[in-house]
Chains A and B, each alone.
Chain A
Amino acid sequence: MTGVARAVVPGPMSAGGALLSVANLRVEFPTRRGTLVAVHDVSFDIAPGEVLGVVGESGAGKSLTGAAIIGLIDAPGRIASGNIFLSGRRIDHLSHEALRAIRGREIGAIFQDPLTSLNPLYTIGRQLVETIRTHLPGSERDARARAVALLEEVGIPAAGQRIEHYPHQFSGGMRQRVVIALALAAGPRLIIADEPTTALDVSIQAQIIQLLKRLCRDHGTAVMLVTHDMGVIAETADRVAVMYAGRIVEIGPVADVIHRPQHPYTVGLMGSIPSIAEERERLTQIDGTMPRLTAVPTGCAFHPRCAQVMPRCRSERPELAAAGATRAACWLPQDAAMANR
């Protein structure tokens, strides 16, 4: 770690040119014992055609951030504050009906388990046609033709016949292709993909990632890729946001975050992932676990697990600031930058 803060600040927080702009998002869950804040002051932009990876361990708030954008937070959870803009239009305070028109039409969603995303009682053709006709004008015949074209595009052989089949007649990888076809049905500009490859085998995972990348390139679709798998992020994303205990602790271009991480959590996380490219006697270990939402430590939430903790970390919470080529919420690079000035 050089500790030299460069003037490069990727991803300015203005809405200019951004397809999606999330500012100071806060998601709360009121409970009998008080309010739990699951997503804390989260801000990021996604440019058209960009893939933003959001990575973190269970409970970090990554899936909830995605759910907040598409308006799918289950009650009693709610967006307590913050704004979400899609192409400059504010969408976080819209009614259910208005949000339903945006979901599918402008934002597509892909979830982890393709089996639960599809209705087992309807043929995939019927589900595709219904989605297409809900969002796009045109006759049943047009919609059907589009459905077949979509299935061909996502690589389902004999699409004309397969369209009459039910979800259970497809393998796991093929089902996830159908789900991707559904997400693309109305030509959205943004896709929220929540662990899209986690339930799949390695060889199928590679196929699905390549498919996603190709589709985004061809259509200029932006993707928010939520996953715990750094390998998938490394291959797919342009930028990556690392979340910890409800906050973004580091965000920046994917190669910088992976090879020159600045936040001690990101550093530990990268070291904890075994790789087939190197041999190590021991993996880097971050002791302890992520705090529960009921007991988030004061100051920097990572300080009880941090090997480089300073007195200041226990009381004062660092904000995201330029550190190396990324932005990190940590006093360490910020102090180093001050010292070098």
Chain B
Amino acid sequence: MTAPLLELRNLARVFDVSPPWLDRVVSGRGRVLLRAVDGIDLVIHKGETLGLVGESGCGKSTVARLIVGLYPPTRGSIVYDGVVVAGEGASAPDHAAQRRARQGMQMIFQDPYASLNPRWRVAKIVAEPIRAQAPATPAAELDRRVSAALEQVGLAAADGARYPHQFSGGQRQRISIARALTTSPSFLVCDEPTSALDMSVQAQVLNLMRDLQRRLHLTYLFISHNLAVVHHIADRVGVMYLGRIVEVAPTRRLFREPLHPYTRMLLDAVPDLAMTGTSRVAVAGEVPNPLDPPAGCAFHPRCPLANERCRCERPRLAAPPGANDAQVACHAVQEGRLPPRPVLHTVAAVH
């Protein structure tokens, strides 16, 4: 395993979603806090793709925004390439070492319609990160790098003169990727980069992202709610539930031998082409209100294995017995109470 590129240490972000002061006084209620990310530890190694999955509201997008610095953390810290870039122990944002570290990261957003300025030509959009990081870059150099970035993602240099509305959704997402690549970053945070795209276009973008990763030695944090996409693109996968990481494991192990009952539930719920005619395991319940998460293990109200300990004691993320490349936060796993998983439907070749 290669050296860690990014390390999240006990990272947390709490949002104050209280009603206005006067309403609180009148109704006699206190502040309302949303623990979007509630103390997570995660390592991303150089050159790998870490997939982060979970259902809406589990905090995966907040993690992305914390990493790129769109939100400051409430607690914990983020270490990138050996430099603490946010949280406890971070230097001032304009400190040279931190600036340099931050320049190694870029982000790709979900909605290619909302993330490109409709009034700017594509060349200006793609050049923006360079102009932000090195305002003194000469115009000729800027043009050269913009053209190179556009060609890298399969567009033509001449496309720089057009406006975003002249492109389809898939082409716009290519523009977003080109914009992220102009500053030659080594780490890309991709927040649902293909969720807004059609199936055949999603395949084009996923193939492109894999090609770019091989060619430019990129490291990805790939956030998605689509388990099949994550299975395809990720080397390791982290599963989030209500602001916490419940399981991290190499992709193959996670999909073949999921340990956490929530991971098992998610996998059973995935509709898959190979499973034509079979019905999925019915999943009971819904994600609880994140404003008032259950005590102990947040998953216990939906968990078939929950016992008294699960209801009061929060499980810690730790290596399960017999697997040192995985981590799981579950009392049942650590105590050996986990039943073997019924063998899933035999894998049928789709083609």
Interface residues of A (CB under 8 A from B): 57-58, 171, 173-174, 201-207, 209-210, 213, 228-232, 234-235, 254-255, 258-259, 268-287, 289-290
Contact = CB atoms under 8 A, between A and B. Distances in A.
B282 A210 contact: yes
A7 to B, nearest CB: 24
Interface of B: 55-56, 168-171, 198-204, 206-207, 210, 225-229, 231-233, 252, 255, 265-283, 286-287, 345, 347-351
A285 B271 contact: no
Given A205-B269, A209-B271, A277-B275, 6 more contacts: A230-B273, A234-B275, A275-B231, A275-B350, A276-B231, A277-B347
B277 A273 contact: no
A235 B345 CA distance: 13
| Residue from A206, A209, A213 with most neighbouring chain B CB atoms (10 Å) | A206
| Residue from B169, B271, B277, B347 with most neighbouring chain A CB atoms (10 Å) | B271
B212 to A, nearest CB: 13
Task: Give the top 6 A-B pairs by smallest Cβ distance, nearest first.
Answer: A231-B271, A272-B203, A274-B232, A57-B198, A201-B55, A283-B203
29 contacts: A202-B227, A202-B266, A206-B280, A206-B281, A207-B282, A210-B282, A229-B271, A230-B199, A231-B272, A232-B271, A234-B273, A269-B199, A270-B350, A271-B203, A271-B351, A272-B203, A274-B226, A274-B231, A274-B233, A275-B231, A275-B272, A277-B274, A278-B347, A282-B210, A283-B232, A285-B200, A285-B204, A289-B170, A290-B198
A273 B271 contact: no
Contacts of A235: 271, 275-280
Given A171-B286, A235-B276, A235-B278, A276 B255 contact: yes
Given A285-B204, A286-B203, A289-B170, A231 B56 contact: no
Contact of B199 (A207, A273, A276, A277): A273
Given A201-B56, A258-B350, A289-B168, A278 B200 contact: no
A277 B266 CA distance: 14
Contacts of B272: 231, 234, 275-277
B225 A234 contact: no
B273 A258 contact: yes
A45 B297 CA distance: 50
A202 B276 contact: no
Given A201-B55, A207-B282, A229-B271, A274 B206 contact: yes
B270 A210 contact: no
A318 to B, nearest CB: 20
Given A269-B200, A274-B228, A202 B269 contact: yes
Contact of A254 (B170, B231, B268, B276): B276
A228 B197 CA distance: 11
| Residue from A276, A282, A286, A289 with most neighbouring chain B CB atoms (10 Å) | A276
A210 B279 contact: yes
A205 B273 contact: no
Contact of A276 (B227, B265, B348): B227
Contacts of A231: 228, 270-273
A290 to B, nearest CB: 8
Given A275-B350, A276-B267, A282-B207, A201 B276 contact: no
